[in-house]
Amino acid sequence: MKQLGTIFAVLYIILLLYSCDFQPSDKKDKNLNQDLKVVSDSISMLMSKYLYNSTELSTYEYLALEKKVMGLAKTVQTKQEFINGFNELWKDG
């Protein structure tokens, strides 16, 4: 009976190990980038809907900034990296 418990314990540990995702921490997460692209699109939509002076949305500066934010969303590897980059891009408003 003790052997049966040991066998189950070993099988349980093996199943746990196989269920773990052992990707390197520096590997890019495509789902994160997809989510951040949605966030970038949502920010653009909210800006177009609620910005007090909507003519600014068609300026070269705004369009370039929007493009940089989307590029950031496509390339970063962590949420914090996106937040830091977004804040840096928008620091001058």
Q: Which two tokens stand for residue 5?
A: 């418990």
Return the H-helix or E-strand segment holding 75: helix 60-75
Rounded to 5°, the CA angle 76-90-82 comes to: 15
Residue 72: exposed, middle, or buried by beta-carbon count in 10 A (0-12, 13-18, 19+)?
buried
Residue 20: per-residue pLDDT: 52
Least confident of 6-10, 30-34, 69-73, 88-92: 6-10
Is the confidence at residue 86, as pLDDT, over 80? yes
Q: What residue type is assigned to position 10 of the chain?
A: V
Is the confidence at residue 22, as pLDDT, over 50? no
49, 41 Cβ separation under 8 angstroms:
no
Residue 92: per-residue pLDDT: 77
Is the confidence at residue 84, as pLDDT, over 50? yes
